[in-house]
Amino acid sequence: MNLTLAIATEKDKEFFWKHYRESMRRHIEQIWGWDEQWQSSDFETRWADCKNRIIRDGNTDIGYIQTVDLAEEHYIMMLIILPEFRSKGIGRRLLDEIRSSTQTKCIGLRVFRTNFKALRFYQSQGFRNVTNEDNFYYLKQDVL
């Protein structure tokens, strides 16, 4: 694989929205129910507040990552890899890249309590469960 991360532009926004809905909808429906208007508004806020990067294999868009740098934490807001590209080491490679480039003490993220596959993946990559929130596991990994 020839993986690259590129800064997302306005033309990539629909790709992000489409794959957010496809990946997260079933979890959100189980927890709160899906409200298209609210989800669209929340998506717009994330788009504005995050560093948005598209994941490519050559010329093929295969996912995206949204991050926020906080005072002591590099926070992964969203990491979505298209289903046909999962379980191929891409997530691990992205996390390795983040670990080596972050200037913060740790990496943090939240996983829906219904997303057992993502929870197992992040735990296998060294993240520890810090807090059990109502609908999420809050995970962290120290890097410095």
pLDDT tens digit at each of 144 positions of the chain: 789 999 999 999 999 999 999 999 999 999 999 999 999 999 999 999 999 999 999 999 999 999 999 988 999 999 999 999 999 999 999 999 999 988 889 999 999 999 999 999 999 999 999 989 899 999 999 986
Residue 79 belongs to a domain with what CATH number? 3.40.630.30
Structure tokens at 97: 């890249």
Q: Residue 71: its pLDDT value, please?
A: 87
Buried b or exposed e, range 101-124, using 16+ CB within 10 angstroms: ebebebbbbbbbbebeebbebbee
Q: Which helix (H) or strand (E) holds 109?
A: strand 106-112
CA dist 74 and 111 (Å) reads 15
Q: How many domains does the chain have?
A: 1
What letter does residue 115 receive in the DSSP assignment? Answer: -
Structural domain that includes position 101: 3-142
Q: Residue 80: its pLDDT value, please?
A: 97
Q: Residue 115: its pLDDT value, please?
A: 94
Q: Which helix (H) or strand (E) holds 38?
A: helix 36-49
The structure's pTM equals 0.93
> Contact, 122 vs 129, CB < 8 A?
no
